Amino acid sequence: MTRLETCGSNIPCLVFLRAAAAFSPYERKGKRNERLKRGSMLIGVPKEIKDHEYRVALTPGSVGTLVRAGHKILVQSGAGEGSGFPDDEYRSSGAILFPEAADIWEGAGMVMKVKEPQPSEYIYLRNDLILFTYLHLAAEPDLTRVLLDSGTAAIGYETVQLDNGTLPLLMPMSEVAGRMSAQIVAHYLEKENGGRGKLLGGVPGVRPADVVILGGGIVGSNAAKIALGMGAHVTIIDTSSDRLRYLDEVLHGNLTTLGSNVQNIADSVNRADGLVGSVLIPGAKTPKLVSREMVAAMKPGSVIVDVAIDQGGCVETARPTKHSDPVYIVDEVIHYCVTNMPGAVPRTSTYALNNATLPYALKIAGSGLMDALKADISLVRGVNTLGGRLASRPVAEAHGLEYIPLFRR
């Protein structure tokens, strides 16, 4: 067992479990994984292969920062093209480029991605690898099992959590997805796109569209900001009265706020032209707040955008879709349930993501994983799997698996 010896008498010491203490990203065998000096790490950036995913884990600017800090960065050729970053910019920033994904996965001590590994990437997962990316494992039972079986140290951007409850690495993509959701509702309400033929903001003498938002967090507040700016009537439903008071103060326009209960949800969904699902329980599977019966009672041609779909979705009729085939219809209601919405605006999304993830990448690469965990409790909360142990309680509960914390007090 490894103990944190430097903590003061008034601060609880962290006692790490044996499996976690045994893990070291620097202890590797073979030429491709030669031992690195402390404070230096091989970081790999493969090209994203999820459907129409154009984001990249590191910008050339972030690569330059990591190189100056003493790290080596391996980038797959073409990884940044979708975000507007050609290979030459990565070379100029000090990256080493390789043509194949295998070169990146097998050569790196830490792989940074945007989205969860796809099935064809599972073969690269191993017990001396740090994986730093969005995971959303509560909705991914197969990937959860593969990560456990491989022993990979998997840190989910979406579960890194500060003491005040803020999710700093999820926030930027939540802002993007929230703003996009209002635009998507407006797009699919157009008759040409299968909708009711209703303008989101209306015009003088004609009622605007009714947009209902479930959840007043980062996604919901950003969706409301854009929808209100376009002139829609917006209803936000949330469990927190304090949050609703705050939103009522800071958002301006035709806004209604409601406490979350079955009746308020049913009544609001029934009159909605557009419904945005933005419910989040960090790391956990999203509860189904909108039943199939509620969807059936919606007006023909209305639109559902379930942003929560990457955690399972909050609408009973929601199922994951892709950018290449984003919508389907149930009971004459359009459903948009793309699991990687920000991938459609990669230039904005990649910069926003890097602003948040780079400081954490520097911590992990500079200190090594275990020392970084000892120094930063928010990073500990981000660990989903390590050494074959499932360290996320919400993920364990979602799949009926054993939860084993990384440390005890």
Q: Which residues are annotated as a binding site for NAD(+)?
A: 174, 238, 243, 260, 279-280, 307-310, 319, 338-341
Q: Distance between CA atoms of 352 and 283, rounded to whole angstroms?
A: 21
| 295 contacts 331 by C-beta, under 8 angstroms | yes
| Secondary structure element (H or E) that encloses residue 76, with its range | strand 72-76
Exposed, middle or buried, 2 (CB in 10 Å: 0-12/13-18/19+)? middle
| 313 contacts 321 by C-beta, under 8 angstroms | no
DSSP type of residue 286: P
Q: Distance between CA atoms of 141 and 156, rounded to whole angstroms?
A: 15
Q: Which residues are catalytic?
A: 136, 310
The distance from CA 220 to its chain's CA centroid, rounded to whole angstroms, is 15
The residue type found at 11 is: I
Q: Sign (positive/negative) of CA torsion 121, 124, 125, 128?
A: negative
Q: Which residues are annotated as a binding site?
A: 55, 115, 174, 238, 243, 260, 279-280, 307-310, 319, 338-341
Name the residue among 380, 402, 363, 378 with its Cα closest to residue 161. 378
SS3 232: coil
Name the residue among 398, 157, 391, 405 with its Cα closest to residue 284. 398
Helices (H), 258-375: 262-271, 292-296, 346-367, 369-375
Q: Length of the chain in residues, anyone?
A: 409
Q: SS3 helix, strand, coil % of the chain, rounded to 5?
A: 40, 20, 40
Q: Distance between CA atoms of 395 and 401, rounded to whole angstroms?
A: 8
CA angle 342, 378, 391 (to 5 degrees): 90
